[in-house]
């Protein structure tokens, strides 16, 4: 069987779009919730409440994102089990992921006090805002088991190529959250604590709905839950290994983002604000590129599980085509309308002018970052997560020295260009490292010959 032919490519492209559009659409609800949170709290008589919600939301964004492996690892392993037509493995992977999510969630609640204190200390807000943010965080941490369980449920359904569940769950979560924001803050006169309770209730509402969807799906799966697979620690070996690499990879990404923010902050509030505005350009691009990357996870994972290397290669090509078109469109849009978008995001003249100076980096970024988004999806599907971790190490090895050199060599007025150069280099090295791994595996492992198709796919 050849590595690919026209028919799998056409089918894969159609399937990628079918999976990607619900994910892209569901991603749109995320900034909408942020806008509503800002609007309802921003109209309170004291700005400290908005500052508190901003600090608290930032803390939990980093905290929960750190456990995103529960979504990614579950997707890849479930997709491979589905490709093998192993319904029992699909069922037990859900059970294992949910038990991991519940265990981690309970530990986070038990460690809430030191975690919140450390996180808010690192964020370094004002004394009043930090006190209110701590109250917000003590409420918000109660949703940890639900948030992490929802990650596992989303990953499980996506691994079975059911992206509409992602759309349904995120629309429900954010819809309930928005409605309760308005009820608690506008209707009942609560402040930042009302926003926190709205989020907690929305997360558990989504978990209840997700549980109902899971029960419906389980009725259609053969096999049964295995007590041995769920309760014996040794049965979690593959899941632990995949997720451990993803966890380290995510910590590396978080460090890179935090370092970028902190190095911008030391250059003054105007530069910090301008960088924050420009990072929204990256977020906007990610909403679309994530959709195609997640679709690639599901399709390539199923292909790996079924040892269908023709379908694997076709899925990568299809996802690459959609991703490149999207990245090119984003680059052109930023080049033509970047200053307008900056003006839409901030009304401060000095921030607008400063952000415009660094706009060329945003034009280049989608064309550089597209490969890291795409290949992350491919490697998650193949559960080659050690390679994803290594790409972060390679990126950081270029990022930090590049930043130091630019700060030493460039005059003060250009130091933020040096920071953007270092961050862009980090992204480029990540993309190049993943591309090198992919090229190696395509030649020597994934699609080499009949013998390769018979060997199990594990990390070397």
Q: What does the block give as tokens for 292? A: 């195609």
- Which range has the worst mean pLDDT, 152-166, 248-262, 270-284, 314-328? 270-284
- What average pLDDT does this structure show over 426-446? 88
Distance of CA 114 to the CA centre of its chain: 25
Q: Which of 18, 13, 23, 10 is nearest to 289 (CA)?
A: 23
**Mean predicted confidence (pLDDT) in 56-80:** 89
CA dihedral 257, 258, 260, 261 (to 10 degrees): 120
DSSP structural state of residue 124: T
The secondary structure of residue 221, as a DSSP letter, is S
pLDDT tens digits for range 247-303:
999 999 989 988 888 888 788 878 888 888 888 888 889 888 999 999 999 999 999
| DSSP three-state, residue 269 | helix
Q: How far apart are CA 259 and CA 265, in angstroms?
A: 10
Mean pLDDT of the residues in the chain: 87
347 or 297, which is more confident?
A: 297
Tens-digit pLDDT profile for residues 348-379: 788 889 989 999 999 999 999 999 999 999 99
Q: How sure is the predictor about 42, in pLDDT bands with cuts at 50, 70 and 90?
A: low
């Amino acid at each position: 069987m050849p590595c690919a032919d026209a028919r799998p490519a056409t089918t894969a492209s159609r399937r990628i779009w079918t999976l990607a559009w619900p994910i892209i659409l569901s991603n749109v609800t995320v900034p909408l919730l942020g806008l509503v949170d800002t609007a309802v709290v921003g109209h309170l008589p004291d700005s400290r409440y908005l500052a508190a919600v901003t600090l608290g939301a930032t803390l939990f964004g980093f905290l929960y994102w750190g456990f995103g492996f529960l979504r990614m690892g579950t997707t890849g392993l479930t997709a491979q089990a589905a490709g093998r037509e192993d319904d029992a493995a699909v069922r037990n992977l859900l059970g294992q992921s949910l038990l991991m999510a519940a265990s981690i969630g309970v530990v986070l609640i038990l460690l809430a006090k030191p975690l919140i204190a450390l996180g808010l200390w690192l964020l370094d807000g004002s004394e009043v805002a930090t006190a209110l943010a701590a109250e917000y965080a003590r409420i918000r941490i109660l949703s940890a088991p639900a948030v992490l369980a929802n990650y596992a449920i989303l990953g499980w359904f996506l691994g079975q190529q059911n992206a509409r569940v992602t759309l349904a769950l995120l629309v429900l979560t954010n819809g309930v959250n928005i409605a309760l924001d308005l009820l608690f803050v506008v209707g009942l006169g609560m402040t930042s604590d009302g926003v926190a309770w709205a989020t907690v209730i929305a997360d558990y509402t989504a978990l209840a709905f997700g549980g109902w969807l899971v029960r419906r799906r389980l009725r259609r799966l053969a096999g049964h839950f295995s007590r041995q697979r769920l309760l014996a620690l040794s049965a979690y070996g593959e899941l632990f290994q995949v997720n451990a690499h993803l966890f380290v990879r995510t910590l590396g990404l978080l460090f890179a983002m935090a370092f970028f923010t902190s190095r911008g902050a030391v250059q003054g509030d105007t530069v910090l604000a301008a960088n924050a505005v420009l990072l929204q350009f990256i977020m906007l691009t990610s909403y679309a590129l994530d959709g195609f990357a997640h679709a690639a996870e599901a399709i390539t994972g199923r292909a790996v599980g079924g040892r269908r290397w023709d379908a694997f290669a076709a899925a990568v090509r299809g996802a690459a085509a959609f991703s490149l078109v999207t990245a090119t469109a984003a680059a052109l849009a930023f080049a033509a309308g970047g200053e307008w978008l900056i003006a839409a995001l901030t009304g401060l003249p000095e921030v607008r002018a400063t952000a415009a100076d660094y706009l060329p980096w945003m034009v280049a970024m989608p064309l550089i970052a597209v490969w890291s988004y795409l290949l992350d999806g491919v490697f998650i599907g193949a559960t080659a997560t050690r390679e994803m971790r290594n790409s972060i190490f390679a990126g950081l090895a270029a990022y930090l020295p590049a930043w130091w050199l630019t700060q030493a060599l460039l005059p003060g007025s250009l130091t933020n260009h040096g920071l953007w150069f270092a961050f862009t280099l980090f992204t480029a090295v990540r993309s190049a490292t993943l591309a090198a791994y992919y090229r190696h595996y395509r030649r020597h492992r994934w699609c080499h010959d009949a013998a390769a198709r018979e060997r199990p796919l594990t990390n070397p």
